[in-house]
Amino acid sequence: MENINDYKALAFFDLDGTLLNSQSKLDQEVIEGIHRIRENGVLPFIATGRGHFELDETMSLTGISRAVA
């Protein structure tokens, strides 16, 4: 597991209308953007009211490994 202290910053993203488009899908540019911020020393989180079981696909595609749900 990664250490939070290894990152310069933390970024929290909502799902609906932020990571997911109006069809509740991830756009390729969002996936690439998440990978870029991680490369730049920022640890991304998902912050949502949804249950953890609804996050698997989004977390898998983006590489986001942490969530506040």
**Sequential DSSP letters for 17-55:** TTTB-TTS-B-HHHHHHHHHHHHTTEEEEEE-SS-GGGS
Mention every residue, 6+ apart, whose C-beta is less than 8 A from residue 17: none
Give the start-to-end residue ranges of the domains of the chain.
Answer: 4-68
Kindly report the number of other CB atoms within 10 A of residue 34's CB atom. Answer: 21
Rounded to two decimals, the pTM is 0.87
pLDDT tens readout for residues 6-42: 999 999 999 999 999 999 999 999 999 999 999 999 9
Residue 2 confidence (pLDDT) above 80 = no
CATH label, 4-68, candidates 3.40.640.10, 3.40.50.1000, 3.30.420.40, 3.40.50.300: 3.40.50.1000
CA distance 28 to 53: 22
